[in-house]
Amino acid sequence: MQIMFKNDLFLRALNGETVERPPVWMMRQAGRYLPDFMKLKEKYDFFTRCQTPELATEITVMPIHQVGTDAAILFSDILVIPQAMQIEVEMRPGIGPWLPNPIRNKKAVDQVVIPDVYEELNYVFEAIKMTKKELNNEVPLIGFAGSPWTILCYCVQGQGSKNFDKAKEFCFTQPELAHQLLQKITDTTIAYLKAKVEAGVDAVQVFDSWGGMLSPTDYQLFSWKYMQQIIDALKDEIPVIAFGKGCWFALDTMAKSGAAALGVDWTCSAKNARYLTGGNITLQGNFDPSRLFSRPAEITKMVHQMIDEFGKDKYIVNLGHGILPNIPVENAKAFVDAVKSYKS
């Protein structure tokens, strides 16, 4: 059954259709920089917001009404997956993700379960149904997951890191265990994303936030082959966006994967991204999130230039990573409005 959206630009661009202007949304648009989100943050801790469908819905819909993006992305977190796999995850103020029992040996890997996602993550699917109702076909809804490699980074390192040295050491000294853990995460992620599709999301994005930590050879070995499994499992059901931060070196491989679109970060030019992907796949990105500190007039000029460089078709305007917490709302709005005012 084809849903008729009041605004279907995002899905048309994913599909490679000719559009009057490219669609726009922002990674991490639901939260952090919005004053209304900050009020909820003061009242409820992070995982309470993720696990309460009413709150997740309210946060997801906020940027649609306040900033005017062409797609919504469900408010959630990539670390709900390890939580569902019985790995303890906390969100500590000033530190971020904190896993008190990092996985670094055979016993720990053996204890990791592949859960029943309907049982452990039902709150996410409820939030999707509620959000779909709230959006009332205004714009499409994106569901997401972290890449298996990115999830492994947190599970082994135990927290965020500049270089994920412990995660890499684990992979390079105990590769069999690393692949076992990656496969468990992959199987869980596929089940999770399929259940999201059932619940009603219109597209999914896989975030490989730490893919750029690996060399091109190790990337294929420890990250991309698991991303490919996820794409293969979902591509016939729903458009999949693959986003690897710092992974420009893998764009040619990614372009042949069956993904509907590829995210690009700000370290890769539009020209290079088009060249490396063969020019036939929809690209998404790649405005430097810190550039949203620039004056609105400058943001407008830079966004128009970015669209000229990527071309208006087979293109989704986005940031090259998540929006920063201290960006003024009017600057985020200037970014979105710049796309809406674009004339080719």
Residue carrying the six token digits 């569902």? 84
| CA-wise closest residue to 197 among 125, 123, 262, 115 | 125
Strand partners, 212: none
Is 159 a known ligand-binding residue?
no
Is 257 marked within a binding site? no
Tokens linked to 301? 């000029």
Chain centre to alpha carbon of residue 127: 17
Name the one residue in this structure whose structure tokens are 């994967």: 257
28 in a labelled binding site: yes
Alpha-carbon distance values, 308 to 271, 302, 312, 322 (Å): 11, 10, 7, 22
Say whether 56 counts as a known binding-site residue.
Answer: no
Q: How far is CA 338 from CA 43, 298, 303, 314, 331, in A?
A: 34, 10, 6, 18, 10
293 assigned binding-site residue: no
Backbone angles phi, psi at 243, to 5 degrees: -125, 115
Question: Cα–Cα distance between 62 and 84 in angstroms, integer?
Answer: 27
Say how far apart CA 143 and CA 192 lie, in whole Å.
10
Asked if residue 275 belongs to a known ligand binding site, the reply is: no
| 77 has binding-site annotation | yes
Is 111 within any annotated ligand binding site? no
**Residue 37 labelled as part of a binding site:** no
DSSP state string for 164-220: -HHHHHHHHH-HHHHHHHHHHHHHHHHHHHHHHHHHT-SEEEEEETTGGGS-HHHHI
Establish whether 228 is an annotated binding residue: no
Which residues define the annotated binding site? 28-32, 47, 77, 154, 209, 321
Q: Which residues are annotated as a binding site for substrate?
A: 28-32, 47, 77, 154, 209, 321
